[in-house]
Amino acid sequence: MISLKMSKTALICGVTGQDGPYLAQLLLSKGYKVIGTSRDAEASTFSNLYKLGLKSQVTLTSMSLNDFRSVLQVITKYEPVEIYNLSGQSSVALSFSQPVETMESISAGVLNLLEAVRFTNKKIRVYNAGSGEAFGDTGEEPANEETAFRPRSPYAVAKAASFWQVENYREAYDLFACTGLLFNHESPLRPQRFVTQKIINGAKEIAAGNLKYIVLGNLDIMRDWGWAPEYVEAMWLMLQTQAANDYVIATGASYSLEKFVEKSFELYGLDWKKYVQVDKSFFRPLDINISKADPSKAKAQLSWQAKTTLDQVISGMAAGAY
């Protein structure tokens, strides 16, 4: 592991989402100066930074990864030693109705970032947020870093493309660039449009008498759900190694969405079958039936391992435990 010096500058591209504020919190605790970007820093509310009490501690600036000049200006101005790319359209479901925006914000954005680093300072270490979605349907064989990609959504296609761009720049131009192939990870900062928040908030509202039922899609899908604050530590660890590499980040345990629903409603003493309706119009055009992960490389090389169980993820989200 390399030694950490105080007052290193880190740039978080896309600091307004779920992971950005947790990563900013971690980096600030390690003595970094943190620069956070959004497309329009003057118009953004930065509500998640406020929730963690970090708004005043992060330097905020406007930057669009789709605009190469914008990226170049920010990197030149702030001279970061580490860049964490968490930006881009983040919803799998939304990617089916916005495939062009999804591809441009993820794939073209990563390309602009890598090019800007190549032009300005090749010593900058770059983390790119990949996704376990790129593996597609794994079946019963957990995906590891050598598993072939079989993306089943525009979002997954874009993430797969960004992964290969990072690997290409790492090998062709000797950049310290790596991708974290993160499987599902949740927290109270997860946007309301995501199904996990819909389930937990629905159960809470039903228990309070404010809602009669919720409508969901395919309950048979299986996912590996982790705790977002733990996953940002893995991002940081990837940039502290001697040589850049890619890692699967996950718990190693997968559950059906039905099990997630069951456990969420149990928190409020409710039988989920009385309050959940399934509507096939909520099904995606293509979906992953089973998603399983093998995070053993991260454990062996980064000494990172997920500690939070599914029950703890659900209770933490329900309690709003930031």
317 neighbors 187 (Cβ within 8 angstroms): yes
**Strand pairing category for 82-85 and 9-13:** parallel
* Amino acid residing at 143: A
At 247, phi and psi to the nearest 5?
A: -140, 140
Cα atoms in the Cβ-side hemisphere of radius 13 Å centred on 93: 10
Active-site choice (131, 162, 264, 291): 131
11 neighbors 83 (Cβ within 8 angstroms): yes
The whole-angstrom separation of Cα 83 and Cα 128 is 8
Verify whether residue 268 is a known catalytic residue: no
Verify whether residue 155 is a known catalytic residue: yes
25 neighbors 322 (Cβ within 8 angstroms): no
Cα–chain-centroid distance for residue 190? 10
The whole-angstrom separation of Cα 75 and Cα 85 is 13
Active-site choice (155, 169, 231, 275): 155
Active-site choice (82, 133, 230, 258): 133
What are the residues facing 222 on neighbouring strands? 256, 290
Verify whether residue 104 is a known catalytic residue: no
Please give the positions annotated as active site: 131, 133, 155
